[in-house]
Amino acid sequence: MKRMEVITRLHWRLIAALTVALTAMPGLALASEEAISPADTGFVLIASAMVMLMVPGLALFYGGMVSKKNVINVLMMSFAVFALVSVIWVLWGYSLAFGTSIGSLIGSLEFIGFKGVGMDPNGTLPHSAFAVFQMMFAGLTVALISGALAERMRFSAWLIFGALWATFVYSPVSHWVWGGGWIGAMGALDFAGGTVVHINSGVAGLVGALVLGARKGYGKRPMPPHHLPMVLLGAGLLWFGWFGFNAGSALAANGQAANAFLVTQVAAAAAALAWIVAEWARHGKPTVLGAVSGSVAGLVSITPAAGFVDPLGAIAIGVGGGLLCFFGVTVLKQKLGYDDSLDVFGIHGLGGTWGALATGIFATSAIGGHDGLLYGNQGQLGIQAISVVATYLFSGIMTFGILKVVGVIVPLRVTENDEDTGLDISQHGENAYSDVISGGSMLAREAQGIPATAQARETVSSPSLGG
């Protein structure tokens, strides 16, 4: 009898042990998956798609501001380089930016070809979700530079430049700030890319404009935007995408993301109003080009601060950004005489500089855990200034060197004849408005059976092209 009781007890103990083991095994198997938040993952993927939408938004924004004979070229400069940088990001760009730090200067090659970048957790996200979010930033940053070089740079030279710049400028600066490099370790605050994206691209654009030289006729004849509705549409897409750009940089669906979304809207609105008022006072009339330029200036300015400032700070940053960029575009550029075609430095360079410094002034620990000058941390402004100066120097020197290297491989600038014809035809064999071709003071409709691109290569004033 006692023997049966012992067997029964052992039996139930064995069952209990097996039950505990079997219950624990799924938990062990899913332990790595539990670190991934479905909410955060979905949020960051949506934000990535919104940032991607900024690329065609940028293309339309830039495309509307150039002459109609260069629209296709400007669209292609943004779209093609975005595709190019996306591939480079997988092959080596991401690893250089976010690989294990080598001397706090550059990432290792551990992630080359996206090796090890898959579904395993990186914080609360799959590693691949974080990597693709950063991919969108890299592609957009290079595309921004194109606005300073528009209407005169050879397309092949642009693509070579874009590949080299993404590798030797964007990835290192991204590593310095976000990937474990020395700027981030120093304590500089850059929530979504004031230094990495805007100062970096703005300085590159200024250097590129100086190296290329001015467009033919610059300063001697008006060069107004050819399609303001296109500019407004592009700016609207940029504004929409910027919510993903800034809020998504929280890398989580949390309160900091909500604050970043809020201050992004507030700063953009404040900067648009500041530009409108300044333009109205200086020129007597407010313009839609001024309004959209102001909104972009505000979006640029709030980018580094979005996770660190409150709405009142955002208003101050927006107003300051709108006025500073207005000065840069309407006064500074004319005084210095450089031809930054679409004001990449005037808005992204100056706006990014103000935003980075303003983060050191208006940051509050109540939002992002860091205080700026107004909240008793005098040292933060100095740290921000160091990060700004370092980015200016590195981007400027490296961009100059890259352009010189590219110039040895292929001419940087189109010929004077190609510039007169327009880069749409000379570089791509296409026309943005194929049913109407401009030639001097005459408009010629496409003749039956003759492609518009063929007509454009002929003398448009020929009677045979009339329709």
User: For 264-293, b where at least 16 C-beta lie within 10 A, e where not — what string?
Assistant: bbbbbbbbbbbbbbbbeeeeeebeebbbbb
How deeply is 413 buried, as exposed, middle or buried, from its count of CB atoms within 10 A (0-12, 13-18, 19+)? middle
Which tokens sit at 260? 């970043």
Strand boundaries in 120-200, DSSP class E = 121-122, 125-126
Q: Maximum CA pair distance of the chain? A: 118
Tell me the CB-side half-sphere exposure of residue 452, using CA atoms within 13 A. Answer: 19
- Between CA 139 and CA 78 the distance in angstroms is 9
Q: Residue 262: pLDDT above 80?
A: yes
- The closest of 359, 304, 353, 303 to 328, measured between CA atoms, is 353
User: Taking a C-beta distance cutoff of 8 angstroms, is the pair 350, 325 a contact?
Assistant: yes
- Between CA 61 and CA 269 the distance in angstroms is 18
**Count of Cβ atoms closer than 10 Å to residue 80 Cβ:** 16
Q: Residue 448: pLDDT above 80?
A: no
Q: What is the pLDDT of residue 9?
A: 56
Across 293-313, average pLDDT: 98
Q: How far is CA 326 from the centre of its chain?
A: 21
Q: What is the pLDDT of residue 436?
A: 52
Q: Residue 167: pLDDT above 60?
A: yes
Specify whether domain 43-416 bears CATH 3.30.1950.10.
no
Cα distances from 134 to residues 251, 282, 351, in angstroms, run 11, 40, 21
Tell me the CB-side half-sphere exposure of residue 19, using CA atoms within 13 A. Answer: 6
Q: What is the pLDDT of residue 435?
A: 62
Q: Taking the domains of the chain in order of start, what are their residue ranges? A: 43-416, 433-465
Q: Residue 464: pLDDT above 70?
A: no
Q: What is the pLDDT of residue 319?
A: 98
Residues 6+ apart with CB under 8 A from 449: none
**Model confidence over 183-228: pLDDT tens digits?**
999 999 999 999 999 999 999 999 999 999 999 999 999 999 999 9
pTM of the model: 0.87
Which tokens sit at 186? 């120093």
- Between CA 435 and CA 446 the distance in angstroms is 6
**Model confidence over 60-106: pLDDT tens digits?**
999 999 999 999 999 999 999 999 999 999 999 999 999 999 999 99
Is the pLDDT higher at 25 or at 273?
273
Q: Band of the pLDDT at 434, cuts 50, 70, 90?
A: confident
